[in-house]
Amino acid sequence: MNIVILSRNSNLYSTNRLVEEGEKRGHEVEVIDPLKCDLIIEKEKPTIYYKDRYLDYVDAIIPRIGSSVTFYGCAVVRQFEMMHVFTTVTSDAIIRSRDKLRSFQRLSRAGIGMPKTVFTNYSRDVEEVIEHVGGTPVIIKLLEGTQGLGVVLAETKNAAESVLEAFNGLQARVIVQEYIKEAKGADLRALIVDNQVIGAMKRQGKEGEFRSNLHRGGSAGYIKLNVEEIKAALKAAKALSLPVCGVDMLESERGPLVLEVNSTPGLEGIEKATEKNIARAIITFIERNAR
């Protein structure tokens, strides 16, 4: 089988692991930069030209599309879909997952627990926005932020109002969420492949840091999810139509609360924390589903 990994950096841990496991199972695996693909659109014959050849031999793709190239990256994924190439994550699902507001609306409609969240169109009544989530402390997030960037913990009313007014002045769209104190700066990441939780880790923010992202200096360790957490993760993945994803949750007094569903989760932290072969599971998923 010919498998293409859409990634801008062939040296990344996740990309390397997918290549390694694909080749171990006898597949031809190629890393292609989606931004260097030319999309040829014509009646009944969509094709992709990359460097010196047409990509008409590909059986399956694994999108590893960074948030900064979502528009063109998803256009490439969509073109492969039009060519009837199997993809581990569809272009529409990636776009949905990258839109925090849209994601929360879909999760809410599916009856999934999440922190209370407010979104407004640059409201001047910031005091009312803060009250909608139960008062301070609150979490304020840029809609386009990733890996913990653009996330602020405002511990006092004055601080929250100042941050909101600053973002509003810059016309930066944000959401405001309640702060889950009992989570104590930690979250859970469930890694889902083929609609099954195949590994989970607990990420803990470094001392004095409320964000648990590993990119922000957090640490990770293996954790066994309880039944309620597994159900929440699977339900969230299904709500966003993501058979392969990472679901981030907080432990709270009212059960697991979903923070985000990541359509291109990194493999390094979860593989090292769980000592499970996540990359192989993704290749096996392709083998079961690609033509």
pLDDT confidence band for 188 (50 / 70 / 90)? very high
In a domain, 88, yes or no: yes
Q: Is residue 112 part of a domain?
A: no
Looking up tokens 């409609």, which residue turns up?
109
Predicted TM-score (pTM) of the model is 0.89
Q: How far is 258 from 212, CA to CA, in rounded Å? A: 14
3-class state of residue 30 by DSSP? strand
Q: How many CA atoms lie within 13 A of 39 on its CB side?
A: 15
223, 141: one domain: no
Domain end marker among 35, 61, 95: 95
In the chain, how many domains are there? 3
Q: Give the domain range for residue 56.
A: 2-95
- From 63, 95, 127, the end of a domain falls on 95
User: In this structure, are residues 276 and 208 in contact, taking their beta carbons and an 8 Å threshold?
Assistant: no
- In this prediction, residue 16 has a pLDDT band, given cuts at 50, 70 and 90, of very high
Q: Examine residue 167 and state whether it is found in any structural domain, yes or no.
A: yes
Predicted confidence (pLDDT) per residue in 214-243, tens digit: 555 567 899 999 999 999 999 999 999 999
**Distant-in-sequence, close-in-space partners of 238: CB < 8 Å, separation ≥ 6:** 110, 195
Same domain assignment for residues 91 and 138:
no
DSSP state of 45: -
Residue 203 lies in a domain: yes
- Pair 201, 160 in one domain: no
- Statement to judge: residues 34 and 121 lie in one domain: no
pLDDT at 15: 97
Strands 244-250, 86-87: pairing kind: unpaired
Phi-psi region of 217 (alpha: psi -120 to 50; beta: other; left: phi over 0): left
Query: Domain of 216: which CATH number?
Result: 3.30.470.20
Residues 188, 280: one domain?
yes
Residues 225 and 265 reside in one and the same domain? yes
Q: How far apart are CA 94 and CA 72, in angstroms?
A: 12
| pLDDT surpassing 70 at residue 148 | no
